A = this chain, B = another copy of it.
Amino acid sequence: MKKPLILVTNDDGITAPGLRTLVRLMKTLGDVIVVAPDSPQSGMGHAITLDSTLYSKKMATDTEETGNEEYSCSGTPADCVKLALQELLDRKPDICVSGINHGSNSSINVIYSGTMSAAIEAGIEGIPAIGFSLCDYNWDADFSHSDSFITQIVTEALANGIPKGVVLNVNIPKLEKKQLKGIKICRQARANWKEKFDKRTSPMGKDYYWLTGKFELLDKGEDTDEWALANGYISVVPTQFDLTAHHVIQELNSWGL
């Protein structure tokens, strides 16, 4: 039987430990091709490169020399997936996995996430796709506790398929392996960021800002990703790219438009 073809990408860049972990795990499940940004692309949302050129380079980052090809790309995570599917791969991948992101993409963070935009881009192209994120922003975070769960989720997705129009957003709490209670299917918690701009003056006398902020959970539901993560579970949110608020169409039709 032909092994499944697995496209691996991320938003932290091709050398990120989270991506290297995901590559190692995926090699146990199929043939792996990596197409990932050549530099960090956190917070890029679903940006694509419209008015600029893209470079791609075949990399020798596969140090075990398993024959898996790896490419870096100068663009955004969504660009990487577009370039992979149209130019670099000779067949359609069976699944696209993105991550493991260094940092949470739960709740409203999904909107800003480059990791998830890569997965969503694959989903738009009709490819089953999953974004993985660890709730730990450290570059040298410990990814090992979730190995078996990640393998399990991808195995199930390869076996069952993922419903059309849906991409999985998987977040992993920062815990010891023995503290991890399992996996929960969740909805996206209602939350936002309370921004604070740190205003400074440059040595040249020009004012500038750093964007900082505090995450504000606005949702007490026990069926949310935030609840799952706070209670020792890996959260899986089915995420869609039909953004229509279907339940509001009737109300808007009562406006005098």
Q: How far is the CA of A166 from the CA of B247 in the complex (A)?
A: 10
Total A residues in contact with B, Cβ cutoff 8 Å: 75
Q: How far is the CA of A83 from the CA of B210 in the complex (A)?
A: 10
Residues of B near A192 (CB, < 8 A) are 124-125
A54: CB under 8 A from chain B? yes
Chain copies in complex:
2
A41 to chain B, nearest CB (A): 9
For window 171-209 of A, CB contacts with B under 8 Å fall at 182-183, 185-188, 190, 192, 195-197, 199, 206-209
Q: How far is the CA of A112 from the CA of B244 in the complex (A)?
A: 15
A153: CB under 8 A from chain B? yes
B44, B53, B251: the one contacting A209 at CB < 8 Å is B53
Can you add 18 more A-B contacts, CB < 8 Å, to A47-B47, A54-B197, A153-B257? Answer: A43-B49, A43-B50, A46-B46, A46-B112, A48-B112, A78-B112, A82-B195, A82-B197, A111-B241, A152-B257, A156-B256, A163-B248, A166-B248, A169-B243, A185-B253, A238-B249, A239-B244, A240-B243
Using a CB–CB cutoff of 8 Å, the interface residues on chain A facing chain B are 40, 42-51, 53-56, 78-79, 82-83, 85-87, 108, 110-112, 117, 120, 124-125, 152-153, 156, 160, 163, 165-166, 169, 182-183, 185-188, 190, 192, 195-197, 199, 206-211, 236-246, 248-249, 251-253, 255-257
CB pairs A–B below 8 angstroms (23 shown): A40-B51, A43-B51, A46-B111, A46-B112, A47-B47, A54-B210, A54-B211, A55-B209, A82-B211, A83-B197, A83-B209, A87-B199, A111-B243, A156-B257, A166-B248, A186-B249, A187-B249, A236-B252, A236-B257, A238-B244, A240-B244, A240-B248, A243-B243
